[in-house]
Amino acid sequence: FAASRRQENGADVHRYGVELTIDFPEIKPIDTQVRIDASWNHSHFSSDKLVYYYQNGWSHTSLPNRSYQYAGIYEGNAGVWNGRRTDNVDANLTTITHIPRARLIITCRVEAALLRSSQYTSSRAFTVDASSNAPTGGNIYDGQSYTAVYPVSYIDLDGNVHPWTDASAADPELSRLILRSGNIYTFAADGYDPYVSANLSVTKEIGDHVSLSFFANNFTNSRPYVKSYATGVSAIFTPNFYYGLTCRLKF
């Protein structure tokens, strides 16, 4: 088999969401404005495009020193999933304080990731046990089972395309075309607990044409580990604490 690649459009991704912004009345005794903004974003896709997949290194089932004689044709992806959905909820609290006599503007922004949720989906996958490709009839989304997928069809060395049938699944020569997940949590709902960081900016106006701004991002150095619901692996998503100074000229 010889690989051939071409550019084409991917699966349609459906996105929608809601945004909310609340500007509170100015707190006049301290010249402070408060704003809360939040958003929810959802996306999902499912691909039925056909993908040809051949595993290099497989040997012919009957002829020595020959490569495997079939390539699989799969729906959406050369793996057990062919879709994915995500949901994200973010919220921010911003305060802006003016000190007119000192010509200072102090801005503090707290950024919170309240929800991170994702899940792979499939229209063809089925559950299997650890040592067999036979369907077990379980739920692929329970996060407790290995999963597998049959090809839609397969192609032989003469270029003939054959549909996959129940008999194909029982044929030892074709068993390598059954793709398995490498773990039990491929289709488990994934996500992370909320995490927060805060940014600070202090701007000093000098005359009518110059302003200096000191900024400190994640100035509390909040960098918690949050654990994946699906895998149990922990990760850090907030940035390192860093700071700097900018100068703005107005002409």
pTM reported for the whole predicted model: 0.85
Q: What is the pLDDT of residues 199-249, one digit of tens each?
A: 999 999 998 889 999 999 999 999 999 999 999 999 999 999 999 999 999
Region 20-46 average pLDDT = 97
Question: Distance between CA 93 and CA 32 in Å, rounded?
Answer: 13
Q: What is the pLDDT of residues 128-179, one digit of tens each?
A: 999 889 999 999 999 999 999 999 999 998 999 999 999 999 999 999 999 9
Q: What is the pLDDT of residue 1?
A: 63
Count of positions (residues) in the chain:
251
**Cβ neighbours of residue 152 under 8 Å, at least 6 residues apart?**
50, 73, 74, 75, 163, 164
3-state secondary structure of 79: coil
Distance of CA 8 to the CA centre of its chain: 22
What's the one-letter identity of residue 188?
A
Helices (H), 105-207: 166-169
> Whole-number mean pLDDT of the chain?
93
Question: Alpha-carbon Rg of the chain, whole angstroms?
Answer: 27
Cβ-contact 111, 141 below 8 angstroms: no
Cβ-contact 181, 124 below 8 angstroms: no
- Conformation bin of residue 157: beta by default, left when phi > 0, alpha when psi is -120 to 50: alpha
**Cβ neighbours of residue 142 under 8 Å, at least 6 residues apart?**
188
Q: Which two tokens stand for residue 69?
A: 């004689």
The DSSP symbol for 164 reads -
3-state secondary structure of 92: strand
Q: What is the pLDDT of residue 2?
A: 63
Q: Which two tokens stand for residue 14?
A: 């459906």
Cβ-contact 146, 179 below 8 angstroms: no
Q: Tell which residue, 181, 178, 184, 167, has the closest CA to residue 53.
A: 178
Which of the residue ranges 28-42, 50-64, 92-106, 111-125 would you say has the lowest mean pLDDT? 50-64
Domain limits, the chain: 13-249
